[in-house]
Amino acid sequence: MMDTMIARDLEVKLRELASYYPVVVLTGPRQSGKTTLCRTTFPEHPYLSMEALDSRQFARDDPRGFLAAYADGAVIDEVQHVPELLNYLQGEVDARPDPGRFILTGSQHFGLSQSISQSLAGRCGVLVLLPPSLKELGAFPSAPKDLYPLLWQGAYPRIYDRSIPAHQWLADYTTTYLQRDVRQIINVEDLQSFSGFLKLCAGRTAQEINLSALGGDAGVSHNTVRAWISVLETSYIVHRLPAWHINIRKQVIKAPKLHFLDSGLVCYLLGIREPEQLRLHPLRGGIFETWVVSEVYKTLLHHGLQLDLFHYRETRGLEIDLLIDQGERLQAIEIKSGATVSSEFINKLQRFSKRLEGMAKSRRVENTLVYGGEQSQQRSTAQLLSWRDVPRIGAEE
């Protein structure tokens, strides 16, 4: 049974790439909606899943015969299970480079990207689909209407499509990720240690990454922490937000921040059992910040735009949660979960703007404060955005 299809922003870019590449690869986390999007966008293509053992065996044992059986093209799901097929696909599309012939999906970015770079460089377009954005989620009748239920449930579509309780679905998702995906990616002998590490990371979302401190708490080495964070990143559980720095006199911190890509998963890992617990939770601010950053990340990715996202912090205290670097234009975004706006929040943005004055390369700095309140308004020194209007960030020209 196919899931209910909601409109996805990435469909426009998916169709565009399929109009000039013979192969389009769609990657992203498990259960983000890749299969549904591909099957509804290309209904004329036969559909094959490499999760199915018979299809996988056919593709492995007789790759030429497999491709000959689908000479007019196909949607091939979870292709990371048969990376050797990509070598044969190269010759197939070189002989017949019809646009949009093969649509491939995969959940493990690192293995897939390595195979693609070796076999299909220049022959394919690559896109990433994350769970639905706030705007996209609105198409589900059961989508949360208030902030805390939204943060708590997260955005994985099956929670809404199948009306599965978020806590139950996220528990099963985490178990599946650990038992199947992590074991396929690296040799983790002690999954309990990795599970503990995942929860420690959830407690540090929206914080700068300190490998030594994280390793000490997890009881593993500095190098193991680095490897495990890479595993989380390449399977689209987290992403690293790099530090932005320029040649100014103040000393600038250069450590990246850790952000989860789904706030519901963070809440589950932190043991937050109902939305109302978030209201007084000590990590409410970090969870809200990570949600806002992930929403901007989704907007840019799903429109095929460049991910020039950063954070900024000086040793003496000035900190900006999110910067979108657009060349001559720099959008500085401060993120606060409270429903009340303090002038100090806007003052921080103004101080950052003044830091950049007199630089050799002039920048037009646009100040934005995203907060947990309901009203958006334009003030003389900054734009105030309600959490409901976060989809406007990154989508603006």
Q: In percent, how much of the chain has pLDDT > 90?
A: 71
**Relative orientation angle of helices 34-41 and 10-18, to the nearest 10 degrees:** 50
Element (H, E) at 317: none
Q: Which amino acid is at 85?
A: L
Identify the band that residue 131 occupies on the pLDDT scale cut at 50, 70 and 90.
very high
Identify the band that residue 110 occupies on the pLDDT scale cut at 50, 70 and 90.
low
Provide the pLDDT for residue 181.
79
Cβ neighbours for 240, distance < 8 A, ≥ 6 positions apart: 209, 229, 233, 256, 257, 258, 259
162-199 pLDDT, tens digit each: 999 999 999 999 998 887 778 777 766 678 888 999 99
Distances from the Cα of 286 to the Cα of 54, 132, 274, 278, 337, angstroms: 45, 20, 17, 11, 8
Instruction: Strands of 327-363 (E only): list them.
Output: 329-336
Structure tokens at 388: 């409901």
Unique residue bearing structure tokens 């929860």: 199
Helix (H, G, I), strand (E, B) or coil at 300: helix
Structure tokens at 42: 């290309």
* Mean predicted confidence (pLDDT) in 282-300: 97
Domains observed in the chain: 10-128 (3.40.50.300), 134-286 (1.10.10.10), 309-392 (no CATH)
| Calpha distance 146→148 (Å, rounded) | 6
Contacts 24+ apart (CB under 8 A), 190-199: 193/218, 193/219, 193/220, 194/228, 197/225, 197/228, 198/174, 198/232, 198/237, 198/269, 199/269, 199/270
Identify the band that residue 33 occupies on the pLDDT scale cut at 50, 70 and 90.
very high
Asked whether the predicted pLDDT for residue 3 surpasses 90, the reply is: no
- Alpha helices in 235-310, H assignment, sequence order: 263-269, 284-302
Tell me what the pLDDT averaged over the chain comes to: 90
Asked whether the predicted pLDDT for residue 1 surpasses 60, the reply is: no
Unique residue bearing structure tokens 């497999």: 66
Provide the pLDDT for residue 359.
63
Identify the band that residue 396 occupies on the pLDDT scale cut at 50, 70 and 90.
low
CA neighbours closer than 13 Å in the CB half-sphere of residue 326: 16
Distances from the Cα of 255 to the Cα of 287, 305, 315, 317, angstroms: 19, 24, 12, 14
246-272 pLDDT, tens digit each: 755 556 678 999 999 999 999 999 999
